[in-house]
Amino acid sequence: MDGNDEQKRGDDTPVIGAGPNEFSRRTFLQTMGISAAAGALADGADAQSARGPIDRVPIMGPGPVDVRLHVNGTLLHASVEPATTLLETLRMEHGLTGTKEVCDRGACGGCSVLVNGRLVASCMMLAVDAEGASITTIEGFAEGDVLDPIQEAFIRHDALQCGFCTPGLIVAVRALLNDIPRPTLDEIKRGLAGNLCRCGTYTNVFNAVLDASGQQPVRDQGGTA
């Protein structure tokens, strides 16, 4: 995985990362870059206006900060250091290990969750930036023994091998179908471009998405995905 891949993911994936009112780790670094440039202008007459975004960044830490998250319909509290990612908080503080840590750099989609309905790489979002947000993890899909239709479709189409990418893929499929209820094969490929499967189960995953969206799987049409 190189820098080009990461850039490509940012360009191609419909919604990954923080929304317009949220603040991801990447936005933080970008903002720090802007603030550094603004600092260089601080001696100038326009220093106040040039400082810009840094003025809107709340100062937290260095000690632990209380964070409230609505996870799968339950309000959860955690006390975390400000640099703690949402992924670390979900896994380490709340025991929600269905969300996987794989690349820890926003490149693989293994840590995908929904934040206020938007697909987010939770390794790229600080927990403090998710304060008060509604989070859906893979643990929130099934109701008791009743699986989500996407999970059922993955089983029907044998859309997993080792299964490590599967939680992130299922979350990404949910985000895709929320946006496009009956996606074409090309739309499915684009929508899941940010989720990597090292076992190469893509054909079966695409068929599972077609099935879950009420469409004919490609192999049943005599073709291949």
Interface residue with ligand FES among 24, 136, 201, 204 (CB under 6 A) is 201
Using CB under 6 A as the binding rule, whether residue 99 contacts ligand FES is answered as: no
Q: HEC states along the chain?
A: CCHHHHHHHHHHCCCCCCCCCCCEHHHHHHHHHHHHHHHHCCCCCCHHHHHHHHHHCCCCCCCCEEEEEEECCEEEEEEECCCCEHHHHHHHHCCCCCCCCCCCCCCCCCCEEEECCEEEEHHHEEHHHHCCCEEECHHHCCECCECCHHHHHHHHCCCCCCCCCHHHHHHHHHHHHHHCCCCCHHHHHHHCCCCCCCCCCHHHHHHHHHHHCCCCCHHHHCCCC
Out of 6, 104, 179, 187, which residue is the one contacting ligand FES (CB under 6 A)?
Answer: 104
User: Closest approach of Cβ 223 to ligand FES, in Å?
Assistant: 22
Nearest distance from C-beta of residue 207 to ligand FES, angstroms: 14
Q: Choose which of 17, 98, 106, 183 interacts with ligand FES (CB under 6 A).
A: 106
Does residue 127 bind ligand FES (CB under 6 A)? Answer: no
Q: Does 114 bind ligand FES (CB under 6 A)?
A: no
Q: How many residues bind ligand FES (CB under 6 A)?
A: 23
Considering the complex, state which of residue 38 and residue 110 has its C-beta at the smaller distance from ligand FES.
110
Residues 169, 45: Cα–Cα separation, whole Å: 51
Query: Contacting ligand FES (CB under 6 A), which of 90, 111, 115, 208?
Result: 111
**Interface with ligand FES (CB under 6 A), residue from 81, 101, 148, 179:** 101
Site for ligand FES in 159-188 (CB under 6 A): 160-166
Establish if 203 lies at the interface with ligand FES (CB under 6 A).
no
Q: Which is nearer to ligand FES, 38 or 191 (CB)?
A: 191
CA-wise closest residue to 70 among 98, 91, 94, 100:
94
Report the interface residues with ligand FES, using CB under 6 A. 101-104, 106-111, 121, 123, 160-166, 197-199, 201
